[in-house]
């Protein structure tokens, strides 16, 4: 399972709320000590897939190029590939990011840079299913809907 969205849209919170009990969590945010985080991430993904465990890749995963090796690895293991796309306005991401503390907080420019790169996911990349996720702030609920591209 691959999460796609700007920093501070709620990806990690979504993972914790919906999938922490059932899916492994792979995120480059947890590999800051690693010399080659992308490679390390692929190793961890491979471990989960080889053991037959469900796994979530929780990064911005903003471009088709970044997603391609993840999708290929999952498909090679016969895993279903599901994408959750968070189509957030940059203003919302900026506001939530500014409310964060310490290491969690990223520079505003990172949000603009990723926004510029962001390619919405397409089924043709190899996704079996795609959904959009929106955070309804008044109720703090994640709203998940099927997404076709
Ligand atoms: N259910 C919720 N309701 C309201 N606000 C929320 C909710 N979940 C998360 N947030 C807000 O959104 C912010 C970002 O959440 P989160 O850390 O999950 O984002 P992220 O997409 O994982 O960011 P990053 O890409 O930087 O890791 C949180 O700091 C919090 O303030
Ligand atoms: Mg996160």
Beta strands 129-136; 141-146: pairing state: antiparallel
Given pLDDT bands bounded at 50, 70 and 90, which one contains residue 29?
Answer: confident
Whether residue 90 is predicted with pLDDT greater than 90 in this model: the reply is no
Residue owning the nearest CA to atom 15 of ligand 1: 10
Averaged pLDDT, 79-101: 91
Name residues contacting ligand 1 (CB within 6 A): 5, 7-13, 29, 60, 96, 99-100, 106, 135, 137, 140
145 neighbors 89 (Cβ within 8 angstroms): no
Mean pLDDT, residues 33-38: 91
> Is the separation of the CB atoms in 4 and 84 below 8 Å?
yes
**Which of 16, 123, 3, 133 is closest to 57 using CA atoms?**
3
How confident is the model over 39-74, as pLDDT tens digits?
Answer: 999 999 999 999 999 999 999 999 999 999 999 999
CA–CA separation, 77 and 124 (whole Å):
18
pLDDT at res. 30: 85
Q: Is 108 exposed, middle or buried (0-12, 13-18, 19+ CB in 10 A)?
A: middle
88 neighbors 111 (Cβ within 8 angstroms): no
Mean pLDDT, residues 64-85 taken together: 97
Instruction: Pick the residue whose CA is nearest to atom 27 on ligand 1.
Output: 7
Q: For the residues 69-80, what does the mean pLDDT come to? A: 97
User: 143 vs 14, 26, 27, 42, 57, CA distance in Å?
Assistant: 10, 23, 22, 29, 19
Match 């590939």 to its residue by tokens: 81
CA nearest ligand 1 atom 25, residue: 7
Ligand 1, atom 29, residue with closest C-alpha? 100
Q: Is residue 125 over pLDDT 90?
A: yes
Residue 147, sorted as left (phi over 0), alpha (psi -120 to 50) or beta, turns out to be beta
Pocket-testing residue among 4, 11, 13, ligand 1, by greatest number of atoms within 8 A of Cβ: 13
The region that residue 135 occupies, defined by phi over 0 for left and psi between -120 and 50 for alpha, beta otherwise, is beta
Q: Domains in the chain and their CATH numbers? A: 2-146 (3.40.50.300)
Pocket residue to mutate for ligand 1, from 15, 96, 115, 137, most atoms within 8 A of Cβ: 96
Give the model's pLDDT for residue 39: 93
C-alpha of residue 56 to centroid of ligand 1, in Å: 16
Residue 92 has pLDDT above 90, yes or no: no
């Amino acid at each position: 399972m691959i999460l796609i969205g700007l920093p501070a849209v709620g990806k990690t919170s979504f993972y914790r709320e919906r999938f922490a009990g059932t899916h492994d969590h792979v995120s480059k945010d947890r590999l800051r000590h690693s010399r080659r985080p992308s490679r390390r991430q692929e190793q961890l993904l491979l471990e989960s897939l080889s053991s037959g465990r469900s796994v979530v890749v929780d990064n911005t995963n903003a471009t088709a190029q970044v997603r391609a090796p993840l999708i290929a690895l999952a498909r090679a293991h016969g895993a279903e590939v599901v994408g959750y796309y968070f189509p957030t306005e940059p203003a919302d991401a900026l506001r939530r990011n500014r409310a964060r503390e310490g290491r969690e907080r990223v520079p505003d420019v990172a949000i603009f840079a990723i926004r510029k790169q962001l390619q919405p996911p397409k089924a043709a990349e190899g996704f079996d299913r795609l959904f959009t996720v929106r955070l309804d702030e008044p109720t703090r609920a994640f709203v998940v809907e099927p997404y076709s591209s």
